Amino acid sequence: MTTTTDIETPEQVKRPGPDRSVARQAWGERTRGGGRLAHVAPARQFEGTTTQVAGLYPFTSGSGAPQQGVPVGRNLFTSQELCCDVFAWHELGLIASRGMWVQGVTGVGKSAWAKRQCLGLVHRGIVPVILGDPKNEFTSETLALDGQVIRIGRGRGAVNPLDAGPLGSALVHLTDPAERERLLADIRARRIAALSALISLVAQRPMKPVESQVLGDALDLVVPTQDADPTVPQVLALLDEAPLALWRKAHVLTRLQFHRVTRDLAWALGALCSGPLAGVYDRPTTTAIDLAAPMVSIDISGATGSALETAAAMLSTWSYGFSVVTAAGVLAQATGRPRPQFLAVMDELWRALRGAPGLVQQADELTRIYRGQAVGHLMLTHSLEDMEALESAADRAKARTFIDRCPIRVLGALPARELDTLGGIVRLTDAERAEVARWNAGASNRGRHPGRGKYLIKTGDQPGAAVQMSLTGAETRLYETDEITEGRAS
């Protein structure tokens, strides 16, 4: 443990005495030869271990800040080192679930915070999985850690929204029929949720009950006919064929009525196979996630040409990534190995949630997989305005649950209007609001942001800790996003 000694400039004091006309100053007497100075420079600050400093200043005491976890910086007011991550704080009993919310304006270092978390957790055997990197910011760090980079986009790679991933492989390890049935039901539910989210996005509306039923029935008919995972074109072909077993379950009397009822559903599936989304979600997954990699980043920067493409890429990678996380737990349990731990990093969260009405519900179903498992998640965003702009009150209420799942809230520099919105969710004292707003004061589009590297860490209603994070030389090189090093990328 280290401690810091410092000497603050004292205030002026008046000492009682026989001659009260002489005011005693902390920097000298107002008398001839009193040694008074008009200014005293701040004392130099030194650091050392408690053993070394005890002889110089024996009145040291330990810090109340957590010292377990990823080192994130020094307290801006006490200079004490603070460590913080969702796994360590959960083990210490400081938080009830493993969730962290990071918010701040552009340029304050949200990505740097996330990368520091990933770097620290990798060295503890925890696997960060970047579920959709929209700006290709995590590639350099992932490659430097000998991790896996998967690139998604037109002319790059595809992710099949109906891919069961390693969950399908896990079935061969299960001998209990009841466990197999539970896993098969889980795979079916994931496929329906993933494809429903994409359909809602393309159609710009929630799915109708009859469409959800037809989609599930179509998947049930496609899956038993092949060994590999189904694809979107195969589901679309089945809707066009409209076999008797399918349209009878839709409670219609003729095949023509079935086509009328499912016309919009077929149109949405067709849009996933043509236009700007063609080649990304209509074929088998190009590269599978390597469960043995120390870190995995899914680069979707090649699939972010429009808001539609960005939201589709994020939803697909969330679904695929969480299914892989679940499969890792199932495989570990089936083979008797320790359950691996994962950190799911979700950047630019609201860019997916604002894609279509009702999409928040679909995203909520996709991202609840961490519950009851050795999984933590880190969500990043720059503004809550996108949440407030969601069309329905139900969507806005559901979107707030994403923040509620995160007991650790990390706030960078924010404008006053953003703090007003955030204040309805996170309780901030007047001093905390003023400090976070001060970090944003004087910000401009030129040069370094004045609040860069400064964060307020909040847990519940407890007083927050304001820290300054400094990057090492290696981190500065790795976190430079202007140049991306090529390496072990898929």
Q: CB of 367 within 8 A of CB of 314?
A: no
Buried b (16+ CB within 10 A) or exposed e, 71-107: ebbbbeeeebbbbbbbbbbbeeebbeebbbbbbbbeb
Least confident of 47-56, 84-93, 253-262: 47-56
CA 115 to chain centre: 11
pLDDT in the model for residue 367: 65
**What does the pLDDT average to over 462-467?**
91
Q: What tokens were used for 466?
A: 């304001």
Average pLDDT, the chain: 82
Q: Which helix (H) or strand (E) holds 345?
A: strand 342-346
pLDDT of 38 above 70? no
Higher pLDDT, 237 or 48: 237
- The CB-side HSE value for 127 (13 A sphere, CA atoms) comes to 25
Helix pair angle (393-404, 359-366), 10° resolution: 30
pLDDT of 157 above 50? yes
Do β-strands 46-49 and 2-5 pair in parallel, antiparallel, or remain unpaired? antiparallel
Q: What tokens were used for 71?
A: 């080192």
Domain with CATH 3.40.50.300 in the chain: 66-156+292-490
What is the 3-state composition of the chain as percent helix, strand, coil, each rounded to the nearest 5?
Answer: 40, 15, 45
Q: How far is the C-alpha of 277 from the C-alpha of 271, rounded, in Å?
A: 7
Cα–Cα distances (Å) from 169 to 186, 228, 370, in that order, read 14, 11, 20
Range 66-156+292-490 has CATH code 3.30.70.980: no
With 0-12 / 13-18 / 19 or more C-beta atoms within 10 angstroms meaning exposed / middle / buried, residue 67 is middle
**What does the pLDDT average to over 204-227?**
87
Q: CB of 476 within 8 A of CB of 131?
A: no
Residues 6 or more apart whose CB falls under 8 angstroms from that of 371 comprise 97
- Which tens digits make up the pLDDT trace of 84-136? 999 999 999 999 889 999 999 988 999 999 999 999 999 999 999 999 898 89
